[in-house]
Amino acid sequence: MPVSHQLIEATSAAAVQLTSSPITSSWIIAGNPVALSNVLSKSKDGLAWTMIWQCSEGVFNWYYDLDETILILEGSVVLENATIPPTRYGPGDVVFFKSGAHAIWHVEGHVRKIAFFRRSQPVLLAFVLRACSKIKRTLIPGPGPAPISDRGK
């Protein structure tokens, strides 16, 4: 992903070139799932990023070490774990996995998703950073939002 200094970046999810992103072999339960991915964007502080990910048919465990929200773009997947029964998700469905979650993925044919990742900070550090940000906004106010009459022009 090229380094960008722009405040707004855009791309076509369909045009993104994906590279190999192997699933940990000990997590694979059945089949030979092949995963591909590409990072689309990263936050300045590196605590959040967006990725396109796709996978061929197979069954595997997935362990989440950070928060992840997914939007299924193509295909379908059945997700299950110890607390939820097998549930099918397809295009347009959104699923949130909290850090520490585990799911068994049953990919049917293929699945393509956009994933939004967020790495949590320790509570005290997050509080201090929010306080500093609020002080900064108070001392150095930005231009603020455009008046409603000026939006969309």
Q: Is the pLDDT of residue 40 over 70?
A: yes
**From residue 105, how far is each of 8, 29, 64, 89, 148 by CA, in Å?**
33, 9, 12, 11, 45
pLDDT class of 134 with cuts at 50, 70, 90: confident
Q: What is the pLDDT of residues 42-87, one digit of tens each?
A: 888 888 889 999 999 999 999 999 999 999 999 999 999 999 999 9
pLDDT at 113: 96
- Number of C-beta neighbours around residue 89 at 10 A: 18
| Alpha-carbon span 24 to 136, nearest angstrom | 43
pLDDT class of 126 with cuts at 50, 70, 90: low
pLDDT at 4: 54
pLDDT class of 138 with cuts at 50, 70, 90: confident
Q: Report all structural domains of the chain as residue ranges with CATH numbers, in order of start.
A: 13-118 (2.60.120.10)
| Alpha-carbon span 18 to 93, nearest angstrom | 22
pLDDT at 47: 83
First to last CA, the chain: 32
Q: Is the pLDDT of residue 3 over 90?
A: no
Model pTM greater than 0.85?
no
Q: Is 78 helix (H, G, I), strand (E, B) or coil?
A: strand
